[in-house]
Amino acid sequence: MSKRVIFIEHDHVSEGGPIWLQFQRRGFKITRFVIVNEENARTPNVSPVWPDLMSFDVVVVMGAPFAAYDDEGIGNWLLPEIEKLREVHNAGIPILGICFGGQVMSRVLGGTVSRSPRAELGWYEIDSNDKDLIPNGPWFQYHWDRFTIPPGATEIASNDLCPQAFVYGRTLGLQFHPEIDLHVLDLWLAMEGGCAEVESEGVVIDDLREQTRALEPESNQRGYDLVDQFLDRIATAPVTMI
195 is catalytic: no
Q: Which of 10, 89, 143, 177 is catalytic?
A: 177
Give me the catalytic one of 9, 15, 81, 179. Answer: 179
Q: Is 183 helix (H, G, I), strand (E, B) or coil?
A: helix
Q: Which amino acid is at 34?
A: V
Instruction: Let me know if 39 is a catalytic residue.
Output: no
The catalytically annotated residue of 99, 143, 162, 197 is 99
125 within 8 A of 86, measured Cβ to Cβ? no
What is the C-alpha separation between 78 and 45, in angstroms, rounded? 9
99 among known catalytic residues: yes
Interatomic CA distance for residues 12 and 69, integer angstroms? 20
Residue 128 to residues 8, 44, 156, 174: CA-CA distances in angstroms?
26, 34, 6, 12
In 67-84, which positions are buried (b, 16+ CB within 10 angstroms) versus exposed (e)? bbbeeeebeebbeebbeb
Active-site amino acid positions: 99, 177, 179
